[in-house]
Structure formats: structure tokens, C-alpha cells
């Protein structure tokens, strides 16, 4: 295992893309983000209370994935609802992104190693 600064730099640049996209979506949205329930569209209220707009006809994926969503919440709340927020942040903000960054860095480092080995003359 060797360290590759180029792979690390590319991984960090790739990691910034979702943040930039999230900023762009929030900055250019027609409606400012709100926690209030709005009759005609989804808001953060839907994320926090379950979406009243979703029906089996307009959101079949929502209803197919709902058991996974409920199981995830039960898993994160195993330590009690007092620890739910901390477990949620640890899992979705720290663990999953760190795993994805590690896998991305490893793939990019391996790609650069393979490219370098292909360029070496065979003896």
C-alpha cells in the first residue's frame, strides 16, 4: 500500500461535488426551504413527519422503500430516542461518507498504480 497525493486530491474534489450541488439546489430553488407543511409541494415537513403528498400512484418507490426506511430508523434508535440524533449523524454524516471516501481513494490510487505499472518496461 502506498500513499497517492494525486488520488487523495481527486477524492477530495469529488467529495466537494455533492456539497456544491446541495448549495446550488438550495440557492436556486423557486421556494425557500421551510419546515412548514405546504399543501401543494413537499417541504422539510415531509422528511420529518412522513410525506402526506406521496401516494402509491405518484411515488411507488417511496412505498416500496418505506419498510427499509422504518427499519433504518429502528436500527438508529436502538440506543433510545435520546441517542437517535447522534446515531443518525454518526451513521449518515460520518460513517457512510468516510466509507465512500475511503473506497473512492482506494479505487483512484489503484488506478494510478496500474497505470504506472503498465508504463514500466518489462524485464
Footprint on this chain of Zn ion (rule: CB under 5 A): 42, 46, 51, 53
Buried b (16+ CB within 10 A) or exposed e, 24-56: eeeeeeeeeeeeeeeeeeebeeeeeeeeeebee
Return the number of the residue (9 or 51) whose C-beta is nearest Zn ion.
Answer: 51
Return the number of the residue (45 or 84) whose C-beta is nearest Zn ion.
Answer: 45
**How far apart, in whole angstroms, are the C-alpha atoms of residue 73 and residue 116?**
45
Return the number of the residue (25 or 114) whose C-beta is nearest Zn ion.
Answer: 25
Alpha helix (H) ranges present in the chain? 5-28, 44-49, 60-76, 81-89, 96-119
CB of 96 to Zn ion, least distance (A): 24
Instruction: Enter the DSSP assignment of 122.
Output: P
Return the number of the residue (42 or 77) whose C-beta is nearest Zn ion.
Answer: 42
CB of 31 to Zn ion, least distance (A): 13
CB of 64 to Zn ion, least distance (A): 17
CB of 59 to Zn ion, least distance (A): 9
Amino acid at each position: 500500500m502506498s500513499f497517492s497525493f494525486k488520488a487523495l486530491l481527486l477524492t477530495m474534489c469529488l467529495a466537494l461535488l455533492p456539497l456544491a450541488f446541495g448549495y446550488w439546489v438550495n440557492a436556486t430553488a423557486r421556494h425557500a426551504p421551510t419546515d412548514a407543511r405546504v399543501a401543494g409541494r413537499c417541504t422539510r415537513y415531509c422528511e420529518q413527519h412522513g410525506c402526506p403528498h406521496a401516494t402509491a400512484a405518484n411515488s411507488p418507490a417511496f412505498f416500496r422503500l418505506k419498510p427499509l426506511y422504518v427499519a433504518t430508523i429502528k436500527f438508529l434508535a436502538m440506543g433510545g430516542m435520546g441517542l437517535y440524533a447522534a446515531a443518525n449523524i454518526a451513521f449518515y454524516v460520518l460513517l457512510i461518507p468516510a466509507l465512500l471516501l475511503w473506497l473512492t481513494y482506494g479505487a483512484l490510487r489503484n488506478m494510478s498504480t496500474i497505470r504506472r505499472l503498465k508504463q514500466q518496461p518489462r524485464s
